[in-house]
């Protein structure tokens, strides 16, 4: 039976740019980076979650036809994909650190719903939400 979710894929427009962002700005670690022709299987992981990987994949054939791949690139760039969520201990402090590293936020930390959250996008347009862990 299924033991766990190992990789969740995220479409990016440029794998090198995405790798730089996730490793240098968010402090993820490279897990796998292999190529097969023009296909690149690139995954990163957060040091605190060693069994869960984030795949940084190009929308491309053979998974998608050329027209659909172009549509997906456009949708990602517009921020149309659902946000991914990171749980943090202190949203304000994490916001300040990431902002100092050049992460561009689309929403500064705000208190609501009994917690604090902030939103940013990666270089491809994927939305991320920081949510402060409830104490």
Q: Left, alpha or beta for 33 (phi > 0: left; psi -120 to 50: alpha)?
A: beta
pLDDT of residue 135: 66
| Preceding amide of 49 cis, omega within 30 | no
Condensed to tens digits (0 to 9), the pLDDT of residues 3-61 reads: 888 999 999 999 999 999 999 999 999 999 999 988 999 999 999 998 899 999 999 98
Condensed to tens digits (0 to 9), the pLDDT of residues 64-81 reads: 999 999 999 999 988 888
Select the more confidently predicted residue: 128 or 115.
128
DSSP strand pairing (115-121 vs 29-36)? unpaired
Sorted by where each starts, the structural domains of the chain and their CATH numbers stand as 7-132 (3.10.180.10)
- Report how far residue 100's alpha carbon sits from residue 96's, in angstroms, rounded to the nearest whole number: 6
Average confidence score pLDDT of the chain? 93
Angle, vertex CA 88, rays to CA 82 and CA 90, nearest 5: 130
- Report how far residue 88's alpha carbon sits from residue 99's, in angstroms, rounded to the nearest whole number: 15
- Over residues 105-132, the mean pLDDT reads 94
- Report how far residue 31's alpha carbon sits from residue 129's, in angstroms, rounded to the nearest whole number: 23
> What's the predicted TM-score (pTM) here?
0.90
- Report how far residue 30's alpha carbon sits from residue 34's, in angstroms, rounded to the nearest whole number: 11
């Amino acid at each position: 039976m299924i033991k766990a979710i190992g990789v969740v894929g995220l479409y990016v427009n440029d794998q090198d740019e995405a790798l730089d962002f996730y490793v240098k700005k968010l402090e993820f670690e490279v897990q796998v980076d292999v190529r097969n022709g023009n296909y690149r299987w690139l995954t990163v992981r957060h040091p605190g979650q060693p069994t869960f990987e984030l795949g940084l994949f190009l929308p491309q054939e053979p998974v998608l036809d050329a027209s659909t791949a172009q549509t997906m690139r456009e949708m990602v760039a517009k921020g149309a994909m659902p946000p991914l969520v990171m749980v943090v201990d202190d949203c304000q402090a994490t916001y300040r650190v990431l902002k100092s590293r050049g992460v561009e936020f689309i929403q500064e930390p705000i208190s609501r719903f009994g917690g604090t959250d902030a939103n940013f996008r990666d270089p491809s347009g994927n939305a991320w939400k920081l949510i402060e862990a409830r104490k």
